[in-house]
Copies of this chain bind each other. A is one copy, B any other.
Amino acid sequence: MNKIVLIVLCLIFSVTASCDNDSSSVDKKKNVENKVVWKMASSFPGSLNIIGEGALNFVERIDQVSNGFITIKFFEPGALVPALEVFDPVSTGAIDAAWSTPGFWAGKIPAAQFFTAIPFGPSPGELLGWYYYGGGKDLWEEIYHKHNVHPVQCLMISPEASGWFKKEIHSLEDLKGLKMRFFGLGAIVMGKLGVSTQLLAPGDIYPALELGTIDALEFSMPIIDKDFGFYQIAKHYYFPGWHQPFSTNELLINLDRWNALSSSQKAQIETTCTESVVKSLAMSETRQPEALEFYESVGVTLHRWPDEILEKYKEAWDQVVEEKASENEDFARVWNSLSAYRDKYKVWKSLGYVD
């Protein structure tokens, strides 16, 4: 058979995509898969440090890992659907996939918030332990599958900062009546302490701060907040971000489309996402010090909350989580699963770690 004929057959072959109807056997023997081409909406712009960047890295890497057989096209927020409305179109199948964070679905699925961040939650080892071997991943999948959506943990970042304040905070009294942009479960905690919170989309925060619509805000971590320029207006930056010790983002996939993948394709997406988790965590750990140096050079004061204030946040969080658990069954299930894991883990944490 000459080469030209073979090339032609190759082309035919690539269109037919498999040699017979028994795709699994061909699958295994020939490494020939149905080609997957998906549209992925994003809640975060591709230019966003680590979080948006991670989406672009992921689509490049899954192309490589799948040898070009899984193509995921990244669409900027708003290009397909609005930034904070990517869940429903994935659920209906209007779009194949989305790059987002579970906390955005707090209204629809309160339990989802735990899969972005857990206030006063565990460090990565314990968190991943609960996720893989303590029931976390199974619960997340079960809860999302009710909505015809399959979640894959696909990014992780270091602790966030606690927030930017125009005025220094000397005591909890100073928080009362403040208007603050805040995300997730931490917002309810701040509400307990008298702060009036609202969730603004990233692009709306700076103007709100400038106009005095808000007095304070939490958004993300030093390197990410830097690009938004909050430091130009608020000069007091507080740590640690007790409300988001570690945060994970999700790749959302329409469940029917997920189920239609071969086991190899599922494994490729899972491993590529896990690599993204590791690299984004590594990236965010590496980039914080330079951002902190920058802030000091432009006259921002970096504060660490005194222990007694952190304890008050913790007390308020303990109340919030009890209340929320009594209101929603899935929220309670996730919290109970996590709490049981952490109770058992305590003895190991206290003995096994140097500090």
Contacts and interface: CB of A to CB of B under 8 A. Distances in A.
Interface string A305-330: 00000100000000000000000000
Given A285-B345, A292-B351, A7 B31 contact: no
A263 interface: yes
B31 A132 contact: no
Interface residues of A, number: 86
Contact of A354 (B245, B281, B282, B345): B245
Given A65-B271, A279-B132, A354 B242 contact: yes
A232 interface: no
A3 interface: yes
A158 B69 CA distance: 36
A159 B32 CA distance: 42
A93 to B, nearest CB: 25
A351 B239 contact: yes
Most chain B Cβ neighbours within 10 Å, of A13, A30, A354: A354
Nearest to A161: B352
Contacts of A126: 285
B67 A33 contact: yes
Nearest to A8: B19
Copies of this protein, total: 2
A145 to B, nearest CB: 22
A134 interface: yes
Interface in A280-319: 281-283, 285-286, 288-290, 292-293, 302, 304, 310
B274 A278 contact: yes
A263 to B, nearest CB: 6
Interface string A104-121: 000000000000000010
Interface string A329-350: 0000000000001001111101
Given A10-B26, A293-B347, 13 more contacts: A9-B13, A10-B29, A31-B67, A31-B68, A68-B264, A123-B125, A128-B278, A132-B286, A271-B274, A271-B275, A278-B278, A285-B345, A289-B348
